[in-house]
Amino acid sequence: MADEEFSAFYAATYPRLLGQLVLLCGDRAEAEDALQEAFARAAVRWRQLRSYQAPEAWVRRVALNLTRMAARRLRRRTAALLRLGSAPAPAELSAETIDLLVALRALPVAQRQVLVLHHLVGLPVAEVAHELGLPVGTVKTRLARGRRALARRLALDPEEVSSNG
């Protein structure tokens, strides 16, 4: 019953609230994002909100607060970027680096994380384990599997890759 009630509330108020938010924040995509988040929060609280005199006002208020927070984040981010200045030109990537990037992207994220942190960032296994919240043994297993998978993708000798790390 509550789900049906919320669905009806959503269908009846979404178009009106979206129109209001677009006018208030000036950007349809931003308004849609904020309104979807506000409705998601309302859905979780619907048993309480449905007894409010104006649950639509609650959703509008939450959506407006979300757009304000997003605008503040954007202003802070813009100010920080202005302070930093322009980014240095990226270095040209060698063919080997591009091959490595392609091969890494093909690996499962868990293996990619440990390989990058250990071999490319240079963190010891224990520190990788700590940073990822994993047991040391899990990191070692993922490193071994990742090295083998990377060697296959790069057509290297897996024994040679394992002895280098």
User: Residues 85-111: what's their mean pLDDT?
Assistant: 87
Q: Quick one: pLDDT at residue 157?
A: 59
- Taken in order of first residue, the domains within the chain and their CATH numbers are 2-84 (1.10.1740), 95-163 (1.10.10.10)
> Would you say residue 161 has pLDDT above 60?
no
Q: In terms of Cα–Cα distance, which of 91, 92, 93 is closest to 101?
A: 93
Calculate what percentage of the chain has a pLDDT beyond 70.
95
User: Residues 86-104: what's their mean pLDDT?
Assistant: 85
> Would you say residue 108 has pLDDT above 60?
yes
CA-to-CA distance for 1 and 47, rounded, in angstroms?
Answer: 10
Q: What is the CA radius of gyration of the chain?
A: 25
Burial class (CB in 10 A: 0-12, 13-18, 19+), 3: exposed
Q: Which amino acid makes up residue 152?
A: R
User: Residues 69-76: what's their mean pLDDT?
Assistant: 91
> Would you say residue 75 has pLDDT above 70?
yes
Q: How confident is residue 34, by pLDDT bands cut at 50, 70 and 90?
A: very high
CA-to-CA distance for 61 and 56, rounded, in angstroms?
Answer: 9
Q: Quick one: pLDDT at residue 158?
A: 56
HSE, side-chain direction, 13 A CA sphere, residue 111: 17
Q: Quick one: pLDDT at residue 37?
A: 97
> Would you say residue 156 has pLDDT above 70?
yes
- This model's pTM is above 0.85: no
Q: What are the φ and ψ backbone dihedral angles of 122, each rounded to 5 degrees? A: 90, 20
